[in-house]
Structure 1
């Protein structure tokens, strides 16, 4: 039996009531985090452009462009919202490939749920099934997929988006098999995305949109290949040089391999350990003026990444370990306010980056582990090591942490009282239309 057939049978027959409570409850946390990050991201240049272009296409008003309030076809809303949620580098991550569930899966699920007038419970179930599909495919193809230059978030995320949209459109198993095949035909996403441009922001947009398109086409009778995963020219072979079907289907129906980590800082996830280390140094009384040398030791898995010592834009700064470390130590924060084009050339940050080096240490315990060693001008040294960054599975954010993050992000977007109402609506799993109405309550507040 093709893998797509087994997956489709599972995802179309598992009921919301039978899904495990722990990961289903995690979807509430993911939804709240998604809304806060997407609403904030809609105010960035990349989020604004994506929203305006999708609104300009016109069409049947089915789903809301977050941060704008306009209703557009669900496929356009999924695209725009995915770009917004990926625009401030605070979207969720997984703990293996460091991909993001929210931009492709939740964007597709939320747009489809609003269009179909689904319940809050139906939305959460669709999100979980979509996240499971995405995780299973990532586990079965990584690290080979990433090593070949593909971005896991869109490449695997289009299948998660398809499963989520298909559940909300109530596809049967045969239709979902076709939808998965059609998703494979649209899978994409390159790691050639770092630099001063907005390139990275667009990657999950097509994945979210294409997932909804695949589900719609299959519902209308368009058929797709059932060998999309393990076929000779299928996704596994093309994107990863092969696929481990046993891993793809392992404990299907018995285990849900979904673990969500959250971002406390507005930077690429592998940098967060260094940011936490810099914040610890600041708490220990270390100041930039007394630093003679700062060495950041990284595990070989990530040592060669993020070594930009002269970012030209905030897009580059968010994937620059030297910049993020410097701004965290000097400002005591690494939030959206610390990442803007007018800050990247700040003399104090440039000076501190000039005192930094990045070196490799294979003795570090985890791929994202960092050890920061400061040599002061008086010759004394201070060392800190961070293996589990804030928000990781080893150092999780509490519900209160996530609610505080949400409130902080949406404060410039929504009127007073709206953030608390949205937190309540998510906690109580309110109907999707009520939730969307609350999110849209103040979206014209700043004239956007």
Structure 2
């Protein structure tokens, strides 16, 4: 079997038995976190623009766009919601900080499940299918894919979206194999996205939309290349220069454990270790930020040359700037969307701390995202903090209460009293939900 055929067989054979208690808990947390981040992200400028865009396109009254009333075609809803959820740098992340499950997968699952009136159990199995495919393809192509300038979330995500949509549409193994070929024809997404623009926010939108398109066309009989992954000009060669087919096929009969990490800070995930270091030193310092003389940040060479912009010009740029994020954390004691707002970018105290910050590579650090920070103060004293596993990682996870607090903080003022708790309870009981419209209605009733 070609890899596309093998993966299609895997996806179409999943049953409720594959939804282990651990996987079910992780996927429910993924969905709950997604909903809060997407709602807040829908109010960001990039979220607003894409919401207005899809509303203006018209079409079938299928699926909810989070953050506004009315429904649009499923592919358009997935497109908009994926961009909204990626708009404030608080979406989930995999354990290697290479990609986000939520924007391409959950966006697709919500849109298609609502249109199909799928059950909560069908929805969860479809999300599981998407996560499994995304993890396999990332393992089969990274770090080469990333290092060649491709963004893993959309490039691998379009196949994950296709698997998710295909599962909810009831595609046969042959149809899903075709759909993977069509997804490969639409795979895209570049790492040239760290400037002042909204470019990064856009990337997962086409992946979610195109995965639905691929599945729907295949359902109608449109065929695609079954060698799309391992072919001479296939996805692996084109995007990574190779394909580790063994990694992609590993445990096809049982599946990978799905590890979802959650963000407590509104910044690119590899920056979180530095933010946690800053929070730790700030809590121990007993001195004002005015007393800070130098900040030296050591990072593993895997990430030492990323996120170094010392003078971000926009909200989007600040969230992927390690020097800014560290400085803002020392000033505010937090790194949420408000701390990255445009009005704070030129604050004198933040600019001074940014100027004192240097980043050095250190190959001795334990993990790719590890951080070793030393802060020197005006009196000559210094404090050091080392973070290998940031808050929200599998080794240092956010608790259920912390996830709920994050959701409430993001949706405050956007949902009426009690709505957050109703959404949490509904997600907790997804496997018993007869119709996914019952979950989405909790948002549309309040918009």
Deviations 1:98-124 (A, max 9, x none): 200000011011100000001111111
1:333 equivalent to 2:334? Answer yes
Q: Is the 8 A contact 2:14 2:125 kept in 1?
A: no
Give 1:336-355 correspondences, 5 Å limit. 336-355=337-356
Deviation at 1:129, TM superposition (A): 0.5
2:196 is equivalent to residue 203 of structure 1: no
CA contact 2:130–2:163 (8 Å) conserved in 1: yes
TM-score, reference length from structure 1: 0.97
Alignment map for 1:404-443 (pairs within 5 Å): 404-429=405-430, 430=433, 431-443=435-447
Question: Residue 177 of structure 1 corresponds to which residue in structure 2?
Answer: 177
State the Cα distance separating 1:292 from its structure 2 match: 1.1
Classify the secondary structure of the residue corresponding to 2:344: coil
Q: CA RMSD in A?
A: 1.0
Does 2:189 correspond to 1:217?
no
Aligned residue number for residue 260 of structure 1: 260
User: Residue 228 of structure 2 aligns with which residue?
Assistant: 228
Q: Alpha-carbon deviations, 1:50-91, whole Å to 9, x = none?
A: 111011000001000000122000000000000000000000
Task: Choose 33-42 or 338-347, whichever is displaced more.
Answer: 338-347
Q: Which residue of 1 aligns with 2:148?
A: 148
Q: Which residue of 2 aligns with 1:306?
A: 307
Partners of 1:70 and 1:313 in 2: CA distance: 31
Return the offset for 1:21.
2.5
Q: Is the 8 A contact 1:411 1:419 kept in 2?
A: no
CA distance in 2, matches of 1:100, 1:145: 15
Tell me the equivalent position of 2:249: 249
Partner of 2:13: 13
Structure 2 CA distance for aligned equivalents of residues 380 and 347 of structure 1: 23
Deviates more, 1:192-201 or 1:423-432: 423-432
The within-5 A match list for 1:351-430 is: 351-429=352-430, 430=433
How far apart are 1:39 and its partner, in Å?
A: 0.4
Instruction: Tell me which stretches of 4 or more aligned residues in structure 1 moved more than 6 Å.
Output: none
Note if contact 1:141-1:244 (Cα within 8 Å) is conserved in structure 2: yes
Unaligned residue ranges in structure 1 (runs of 5+):
444-448
How many residues of Structure 1 are paired with residues of Structure 2 in the alignment? 443
SS where residue 297 of structure 1 aligns? Answer: strand
1:97 and 1:142 in contact (8 A); partners too: no
* Cα drift, residue 286 of structure 1: 4.0
In 1, Cα distance between equivalents of 2:186 and 2:255:
28
Mean CA deviation greater in 429-438 or 114-123? 429-438
1:51-70 paired onto structure 2 within 5 Å: 51-70=51-70
Change (3 A) 1:194 1:84: same
Deviation at 1:441, TM superposition (A): 2.4
Consecutive unaligned residues in structure 2, runs of 5 or more:
none
Contact 1:23 1:256 (C-alpha < 8 Å) held by counterparts: no
What SS class does the counterpart of residue 69 from structure 1 fall into? coil
User: Deviations 1:313-361 (Å, cap 9, x if unpaired)?
Assistant: 1111000001110111110100011111111111111111112111122
> Cα distance, 1:24 vs. partner?
2.5
Equivalents in 2 of 1:136, 1:334: separation in Å?
Answer: 32
Contact 1:415 1:441 in 2 (8 A): no
Deviations 1:139-178 (A, max 9, x none): 0010111111000000000000000000100111110000
- Per-residue CA deviation, residues 384-426 of structure 1 (Å, 9 max, x unaligned), is 1111110011111111111111111111211111111101110
